[in-house]
Each structure stands twice: as structure tokens, then as C-alpha cells.
Amino acid sequence: MNASRIRRSVVAVTAVALLPMGISACSSDDGGSDKASDSKKSAPKQSKPEAASAEFGPACKAVPKTGKGSFQGMAQDPVATAASNNPELSTLVSAVKKAGLVDTLNSSKDITVFAPTNAAFDKIPKADLEKVLSDKKTLTKILTYHVVGKPLPKEKLADGSYPTLEKDELTTSGSGDSYKVNDKAAVGCGNVETSNATVHIIDSVLMPPK
């Protein structure tokens, strides 16, 4: 009888001794499983890296949200084609066609275009504008002065001087989301990407030095 009691005691003690290990093992297994599961659930989905420089400026809100004239739509086409899908740039597109620069702009790689809006052209007296639009040589000179032969994202606009396709230089300055070209033309919507260019939409037409 005593031997039987001793055996039962040994079994009970052994079970008690092993119980924490079993709990620990279960806890470890379950905890590890829950932790991995929780980490998968709680870890946010990795989004695509944002562009080094996103579109900026108050005039960006006027850009269509969808369609060929939207940021996404313009990014699919070369710059002259992309601009033709933006109703705010119709005067510029007309001028580019008159100057015969559509193919030149569309075939260029990694350029920057400072694109005056229709309102920018409206600042020029009508008679003067018509005179320029009818003079291909002068028009070409003015339009190519708006093009720099390399990418100029937002971070390069703070303080710079860059040669244009017209050969003269233009200057940029500013900070935050506020930038100007030649201390005159304000960037209304910058860093608009097309398939071959960075476009900064500006509120004044740039005139090359005489």
C-alpha cells in the first residue's frame, strides 16, 4: 500500500514538474504562431516607392483627375503630345505646331520644359502675340528658350542657372513649393512627368535675352 502511494506520489510530482514545460512549449508554439500571424496582419502593405519629386503647386488642382490630360495620362506620352491633352496649354501647343517643333520635342530625351499656360500668353498684347506667332524664327527662339536639355526636378529649382536649347541660360530660384524662373514666371504646377520630359507649368512667357 505504501509502495502504491509512493508510486502515485512520484507520478503526480513528475506530472507537476512537466506541466510548466508543456505550458511553456504550447505558449511558445502558439505565441510564435500568433506573433508571425499578427506581424503579417499588422505589417502595412509595402506601397510602390514614391517618386523622388511629386507634383507640386496651386495650379495642380486644375489638372484633370482622369484621362489623357491627367498626371497619369500625360506620363504615358511624349511632351508635345502630353501637352496637347491639357486644355490649359492649348496656346503653347498651337505655337509649338507653328514653329514645327512637335517632332523635336517628342523625340528628345530627359528634357525639362517650362510650359506657359494660356493665361500666360494672354498677358502678351494681342498684336504682339500675333506678330510672334507669324514669325517662325522668333517663335522658335522663344519656345526653345523654355526647354532645358536635362531633367530639372523640384530640388534643382532652388538656385540654378541652366543652358536652354535656344543656347541662352535661364535661372531658377525658390524654396518649399514656391519657385520662379528668371525671377518672373512662377511655377504653378511643377514636376509633371511625361514619357520623355519633366514639365513645370508657369504663369508667364519667358523671353530670351536680346
pLDDT surpasses 50 at 208: yes
Q: How far is CA 200 from CA 3, 5, 14, 26, 209, in A?
A: 95, 92, 79, 62, 21
State the virtual CA torsion across 70, 66, 196, 145 in degrees, nearest 10: -20
CB 168 within 8 A of CB 188: no
In the three-class reduction of DSSP (H, G, I as helix; E, B as strand; rest coil), residue 93 is classed as helix
pLDDT surpasses 60 at 33: no
Higher local confidence (pLDDT), 86 or 41: 86
Quick one: which of 97, 71, 106 has its CA closest to 86?
71
User: In 10 A of CB 12, how many CB atoms?
Assistant: 10
Give me the mean pLDDT over the 67-86 stretch.
96
CB 99 within 8 A of CB 136: yes
Identify the pLDDT of residue 5. Answer: 47
Give the global pTM. 0.75
CB 153 within 8 A of CB 52: yes
Alpha helices for 43-125 (secondary structure H)? 71-74, 79-84, 90-99, 102-107, 118-122
pLDDT surpasses 90 at 120: yes
Quick one: which of 209, 86, 81, 88 has its CA closest to 145?
209
Identify the pLDDT of residue 62. Answer: 86
Identify the pLDDT of residue 53. Answer: 63
List the single range of 31-35, 180-184, 198-202 with lowest mean pLDDT: 31-35
Q: How far is CA 113 from the centre of its chain?
A: 15
pLDDT tier at 39, thresholds 50, 70, 90 = very low
What is the number of alpha carbons within 13 Å of residue 65 lying toward its C-beta?
0
Phi and psi torsions of 87, nearest 5°: -60, -20
pLDDT tens-digit map of 136-156 = 999 999 999 999 999 999 999
Give me the mean pLDDT over the 89-111 stretch.
97
Quick one: which of 175, 166, 162, 176 has its CA closest to 208?
166
Identify the pLDDT of residue 108. Answer: 97
State the virtual CA torsion across 51, 52, 56, 61 in degrees, nearest 10: 0
Give me the mean pLDDT over the 26-49 stretch.
40
| Amino acid at site 117 | T
